Amino acid sequence: MPFRWLVGKSLAQSKLSFLLNKNLECLQEAKIIFRCFSFILRILKNKEYNDRLRSLYNPANLEMNAAKTSEKSDIDLMNDPQAKREADRAQANRDELTERIAQAIRQDGTIEPHRGLHFNRSSSPSEPCHSVSIPAFCAIAQGSKEVLLGSDRYQYDPMHYLLATVELPIVSQILEASKAQPYFSVRLDLDPTLVGSVMVEAGYPSSRSRADVKAIDVSPLNANLLDAVVRLVRLLDSPAEAHVLAPLIKREIIYRLLMGEQGNRLRHIAVLGGYTYHIARAVARLRKDFNEPIKIESIAREMGMSVSGFHHHFKSVTAMSPLQFQKQLRLQEARRLMLGESLDASSAAYRVGYDDASHFNREYKRLFGAPPMRDVERLREAARETASSI
């Protein structure tokens, strides 16, 4: 009996020890699982998770965040009466700008109701459009747009404006537009001489910095700048007043741009000095002689730069190399010749400076997505469809 009892006791203790160890392991696992769930719930509650794979994506979360942000903004506005007045004024100006552009341009397209002032309307998103930018202030009343300069993308909407200060090959695309809510925009061409005049009159110091400044950028459109734009557009109803007041309001717009985030961009273009000014001169030279063989050494010497320095500063301002810049100009001009003057691909290639037609075809397809004649036929077909729908 004692032996059996001892054996039984030993077995019982072993079993009890095993169960205790097992329970401890389960308890530890349970604690770990509990901590994991608590951590996940805490993250989800705070909406701070970084869901790179979208595995936790839930539209409700985004809507909730947007609602909370909107509620917070409303609360901030209620606590700051002046901010609320500014927001209300800006919204009223956006609504008025939309209405006035809609009245001025009834069909899709672009008009110039006043010298240097352009309106654009589109009832649908557009395909990427290759063009050359000019120094201009661009604002959107309704819709949104994206501009591609080299590898840099700039997107703007009614809350932002785009400022371009150098003539550069760009690709632009209207992103948001419909028949119910067309895309409406306004563009004001900028004269560097006028910019310099406003700087002098305002006693604004010219920048001593020789740093490179990008030729295009996007910034928030504040209420005062938007108000000046709307007042300029209102003058279209009063030609007699426009003759006197439009130049003054244009100066005000330039002044507010100089005082804003992009003031440095305008200063570098307006003053004689700084690398940006010299790059602007080089751009003008390349545009004028785009069909001639490019001589970087000669241009760099004219600009007072080394070849490597010229390459560096040119790309910093234009987002492309001088050779890429010339190539885009040539291809865009060839496209215009085939569309506007009905030239064949070989003739257009020769006119813009290409000696090898096959090389021209490869580069054309790389830029526009189709061989020359197929691309031109596609553009003509799109134009016919647009004309028939009007």
Q: Which residues pair with 140 in a beta bridge?
A: 185
pLDDT tens-digit map of 101-117: 999 999 999 999 999 99
pLDDT at 69: 45
Neighbouring residues of 257: CB distance < 8 A, sequence distance ≥ 6? 137, 163, 225, 263, 266
Place of tokens 């939309």: 98
Per-residue confidence band for 167, with pLDDT thresholds at 50, 70 and 90: confident
Neighbouring residues of 100: CB distance < 8 A, sequence distance ≥ 6? 230, 233, 234, 236
pLDDT at 359: 94
Q: Enumerate domains of the chain plus CATH numbers.
A: 92-268 (2.60.120.10), 272-320 (1.10.10), 321-390 (1.10.10.60)
Per-residue confidence band for 219, with pLDDT thresholds at 50, 70 and 90: very high
pLDDT at 31: 53
Q: How far apart are CA 56 and CA 160, in angstroms?
A: 32
Residue in 250, 264, 249 with CA at minimum distance from that of residue 215? 264
Neighbouring residues of 219: CB distance < 8 A, sequence distance ≥ 6? 160, 161, 163, 260, 261, 262
Given a contact cutoff of 8 angstroms between Cβ atoms, the answer to whether 137 and 116 are in contact is no
Per-residue confidence band for 53, with pLDDT thresholds at 50, 70 and 90: very low
Count of other CB atoms within 10 angstroms of residue 324? 15
pLDDT of 155 > 90? The answer is: yes
Q: Would the pTM of this model clear 0.75, i.e. be above it?
A: no
Averaged pLDDT score across all residues of the chain: 80
- Output the six-digit token pair for 31: 């604690």
The H or E element spanning position 19 is helix 2-46
pLDDT at 385: 74
pLDDT at 269: 65
Beta strands in the chain (DSSP E): 109-114, 117-122, 129-132, 136-142, 144-149, 152-156, 160-164, 169-176, 183-189, 216-220
